[in-house]
Structure formats: C-alpha cells, structure tokens
Amino acid sequence: MSAATPWTVKHRPSDSTQLVGNEEAVNAVRRWLVSWKTGISSKRAAFLFGPTGVGKTLSVTLLAKELDFDLVEMNASDHRTREAVERIAGMAATESDIYMRKKVIMLDELEGMSGTEDRGGLATIVSLVKKTRSPMILIATSAWDPKFKTLRDSCLLVEFKRIPLRSMVPKLSEICIRERVEVEEEALRVIAERTRGDLRSAITDLQVLAQGRTKLTYDDVNWLDRRDRQEPIFDVLRNIFNAETLQRARNALNSSDVDYEMVFEWIYENAPYQIPDKRELAEAMDALSRADIFLRRVRSKQQWHLLPYAIEDFTGGVALSRTKKPQGWIPFKFPQRIRNLSRSRGDRAIRTEVGKKIGRKCHVSILTAVNECLPYLRVILKQRGAAAGKMAEWLDLNDEEKEYLAE
C-alpha cells in the first residue's frame, strides 16, 4: 500500500479475532448467523447499534467472510425509497447466488432514513424483516429512535459500546510498532481519550500526528488534552473543507470546543494539499490572509467584534473556494508553526524565567528584560569569566539557565 493509504485500511483486522473490544456483541452476532446454517432463525434480523468507529460494520464484514456468507451491502441513508430498498435488499432477501451460498443483507446507517422523506423506504425494510429468507443486519448509532419501534420488536438487538481505553492504547501501540514510530504511552493515552472510544478516529488521528516522524512524545500531542471537545479536530477540518455552504462551514467550527486560532493554523497548513486547483487555492489563501488580519487586531487591540469576520473567512471563505477535490485520500498535516512552538516551549519558559529575575533586579518589565537586557547578558555569560560568574550569582541563575544563556 502507498504511504497515503489510511491506517484504518492498512491495519484493518483480517479476521474477527483481531477486533478490539465488544467481544460479547461480536459473539452474539456470530451465534445468530450460525443459527441460519440450519434454517431460518427465530429473529430474522439483527439490529446492531452503538457509537461510530467501534466496529459494527467491520464485524459484520469479517463474520460474513468467515462463515461463508455472501455479503450484500446497502447504505440505507443513500437508498431511502421503497423502490430502492426492494431492488437491492428485497431481491437479496429472497434469492441465492449461483453457488447456492446463503446471503446476509447489511443495511448500514439506518438513522439516515427520516420517515416522512423516504417515501416508504423504512416501511419496506420492516416488511422485509418479517419475510426475509436470508439474515438481515441493520446498523445505526441508536436503536431507540421512535421510528425504529416496530423494527426493535422484530429484531435481535445487539449493542456495541465504546472501545475502552485499556483496549485502544495497545492497539495504537501495535500500529506504531508496525509503522516504526517510537511513541510514549502517555501520548497514546491522550489520543485515545479524546476520541471517546472511537477507535477509527483514534487511528486516523495517530496517522496525522505521526506523519513524517520517527518518534511521537507527549509534548507533541498534549495540546489535544487541553479541551473536552465535542468533535475531534480532524472531523472539524473535514467538515470545513467539504462544506458546500457558508453556514455548514461555520457550523463545523461551532460543533467543537477547539480553539479557533488552532483551527486557523490547521487550515492554513493543509489548504495547499486539500485544494489542488491553483486558482481556488489562491482564493482560499486570500480568505486566510483576511482572517489573519482580523485575528491580529482581535489579539493586539481586543477588537472582539471583528472575530466573526475572521471565522467567516477561514471557514466559509476557504470552503467555498474549493470545487475540485484532491485525488485519493490526502492526510492532514500537523501545523508546522504549532510544532515549532512545541519544540521551543522549554526555551521560552527558561527565557521568561530569566526575564523575571532580570526584571526584579533592574526594576523593568519581563518584556523589556527579555528584549533589551537578555542579549547583553548572553554576551557576558558566553565569556564564562569572572564577570559571568558574578552576574549569574547576582541574578541567582540556576545551572540550566546559565547553560541556556551561554550556548
């Protein structure tokens, strides 16, 4: 596979024993499918429900292969009408293939069917469940929507739960070993915790954060741990770049608690890769430049009434500039400016502490001490003579601060 292959595909389990978490749910589906080998099961359909990214669809795919079922897949949110359901699922529910293998019909994203707009699609599924001669598996994030009441009564309900942290971290570690990325366990815990049991999102986040690196530390990811967000940053980025309207682009940011300046940095870094057309990229960068001007005024002059204009430019302005999508899957790149700040965090902390000590002795502000006094102090300490020793003693500099200034 190419370097741009999503790790969720590259490291996908090859059989059900490699699935992470939800062992009881997977075994329940397996037993139900096995029961079809000897005839029609008492429950002709199974309703799998649970959060996204926990393995519902993948479990069905692997189990169908292992138990020698011919899998017929259908995305219910894309095929909502009675005619579409009958054409795809209806035929599969009553016919066998040329090898006489039994079929299993999987209808994914069932919550996408809204009832009034589906022109009989959901009602047709209810009818098929009652008469199907092949196992049907329905998948949704929740089984408790009122529109599913009749289905619940007719189906075997199987709940998939969020993947526990104790299971996610070893899986992420295993992927890092395969990708030859040295990683700190605490960094993996941050990635796992922020996705709230969504293993698929965690793997995607890991790929983006580890891209181009041979080592991943807690300092490289600890900014993720600063906020309890409703959506991971990468979902927010995808929603902004793919938004078709200004309102959807703004909503993508509003759905998250992530810092708006952080989102700006991510968009700025990734726009050249996500917007392949040069003219469209020029429009996007123009929108980002306007947003940057607004953000600078917000920061420097506290002109907060300008913030909505900045947000509109770096979300909607960028989204509406793109009409052509890049070929293939383009992973998001970690913002270089944030990475540089992360690397220099230790130096900045030392510089600030030295500035405080100079300020106390010279009765000046930290900013004045760092900008005006620190350069001269560096020259003195680099000489490493008697004057350097006396100056360091006068300022009460520790060994780390002296080494930093003398380098």
pLDDT of residue 229: 45
pLDDT tens for residues 149-187? 888 888 999 999 989 888 899 899 999 999 999 998 888
Tokens of 375: 């350069």
Query: Taking a C-beta distance cutoff of 8 angstroms, is the pair 267, 332 a contact?
Result: no
Query: Taking a C-beta distance cutoff of 8 angstroms, is the pair 21, 163 a contact?
Result: yes
Mean pLDDT value of segment 253-277: 82
Q: How far apart are CA 336 and CA 265, in angstroms?
A: 9
- The answer for residues whose C-beta is within 8 angstroms of residue 105's C-beta and 6 or more apart is 72, 74, 89, 92, 93, 132, 134, 135, 136, 137
pLDDT tens for residues 21-65? 899 999 999 999 999 988 888 888 999 998 888 999 999 999 999
User: What does the mean pLDDT of the chain come to?
Assistant: 81
pLDDT of residue 117: 44
pLDDT tens for residues 63-89? 999 999 988 887 755 544 556 566 655
pLDDT of residue 42: 85
Q: How many residues does the chain have?
A: 407
- The residue among 256, 198, 200, 252 whose CA lies nearest residue 51 is 198
Residue 289: band (very low, low, confident or very high) from pLDDT cuts 50, 70, 90:
very high
pLDDT of residue 381: 80
Q: How far apart are CA 168 and CA 29, in angstroms?
A: 22
- The residue among 332, 297, 290 whose CA lies nearest residue 311 is 290
Which of the two residues, 399 and 16, has the higher pLDDT score?
16
Q: Report pTM.
A: 0.57
Q: Is 71 exposed, middle or buried (0-12, 13-18, 19+ CB in 10 A)?
A: middle
pLDDT of residue 267: 92
Place of tokens 């106390």: 360
pLDDT of residue 83: 62
Q: How far apart are CA 10 and CA 72, in angstroms?
A: 23
pLDDT of residue 143: 84
Q: Which helix (H) or strand (E) holds 75?
A: strand 70-75
pLDDT of residue 227: 40
pLDDT tens for residues 179-226? 999 998 888 988 888 888 889 888 988 988 888 888 988 888 876 654
Q: How far apart are CA 294 and CA 264, in angstroms?
A: 12
Which of the two residues, 326 and 76, has the higher pLDDT score?
326
